[in-house]
């Protein structure tokens, strides 16, 4: 068993062929939507190389993203927009993105395994697994889809709002991003509820 907050997820839960792994990407950045993905892997079509998206290169993530989409039993990506992040807060917006990904799965999962200790509302049993993207392959697969989808979105945002460097830092609070934010002000895709952005807004 793997200890999690408030419950125990068993090896049988993890081995359930219709369990969906769920993870998000983009909670920390100062700009852009937060993304989440849900993946039901097909035991008959294993995908070598799946790992936590943070532990592999961008090229590996791109390759695995295609493999997961081709070979998984089901997959879906959800998102919550900047306006929802500012209205709800980033945690609730992340859970909303997860809900949207889970709701889009077909066929439906029998249970969901979520990275971390907070689970979205779902019409099936849900388990949070701390460090799940390093422990459960379906969660790692979801982390890859969410990360690749968000990175692609940030490349498009960079074209719409040049000068901030979104293609490089993907919205994270790098020195270059903060300098551009001070120089150019907040763009429509910046999260105004985040302190470094809020501090630059007119009083």
Q: What is the pLDDT of residue 168?
A: 97
Q: Are 52 and 132 in contact (CB under 8 A)?
A: no
pLDDT score of 200: 87
- The rounded distance, in Å, linking the Cα atoms of 139 and 132 is 6
Report d(CA 71, CA 97) in Å as an integer. Answer: 23
* Cα separation, 3 vs 10, whole angstroms: 9
* Amino acid 25: pLDDT: 98
pLDDT for res 5: 42
pTM for the full predicted model:
0.93
User: 137-160 vs 58-71: helix axis angle to the nearest 10?
Assistant: 120
- Cβ–Cβ under 8 Å, residues 54 and 26: no
How much is the pLDDT for 139? 97
Q: Quick one: pLDDT at residue 202?
A: 78
Mind listing the pLDDT tens digit of every residue in the chain (203 residues)?
Answer: 333 443 556 676 778 899 999 999 999 999 999 999 999 999 999 999 999 999 999 999 999 999 999 999 999 999 999 999 999 999 999 999 999 999 999 999 999 999 999 999 998 999 999 999 999 999 999 999 999 999 999 999 999 999 999 999 999 999 999 999 999 999 999 999 999 999 988 76
Task: Give the closest residue to 109 by CA, choosing from 118, 117, 99, 97.
Answer: 99
Q: How many CA atoms lie within 13 A of 5 on its CB side?
A: 10
DSSP run (H or E) holding 83? helix 82-88
β-bridge pairing 126-129 and 111-115: parallel
Q: Which domains does the chain have, with CATH numbers?
A: 2-159 (3.30.420.10)
The CA distance from 41 to 106, in Å, is 12
Task: Report the pLDDT value the prediction gives residue 64, as an integer from 0 to 100.
Answer: 98
Question: Token pair of 76, please?
Answer: 């879906």
């Amino acid at each position: 068993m793997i200890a999690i907050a408030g419950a125990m997820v068993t090896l049988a839960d993890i081995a359930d062929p219709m369990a969906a792994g769920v993870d998000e990407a983009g909670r920390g950045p100062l700009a852009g939507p937060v993304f989440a993905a849900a993946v039901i892997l097909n035991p008959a079509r294993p995908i070598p190389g799946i790992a936590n998206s943070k532990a592999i290169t961008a090229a590996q993530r791109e390759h695995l993203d295609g493999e997961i989409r081709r070979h998984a039993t089901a997959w879906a990506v959800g998102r919550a927009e900047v306006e929802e992040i500012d209205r709800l807060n980033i945690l609730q917006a992340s859970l909303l993105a997860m809900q949207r990904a889970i709701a889009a799965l077909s066929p439906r999962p029998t249970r969901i395994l979520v990275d971390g200790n907070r689970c979205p509302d779902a019409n099936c049993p849900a388990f949070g697994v701390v460090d799940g993207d390093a422990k459960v392959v379906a969660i790692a697969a979801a982390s890859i889809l969410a990360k690749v989808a968000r990175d692609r979105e940030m490349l498009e945002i960079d074209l719409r709002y040049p000068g901030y460097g979104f293609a490089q830092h993907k919205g994270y609070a790098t020195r270059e991003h903060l300098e551009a934010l001070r120089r150019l002000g907040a763009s429509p895709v910046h999260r105004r509820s985040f302190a470094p952005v809020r501090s630059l807004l007119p009083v």
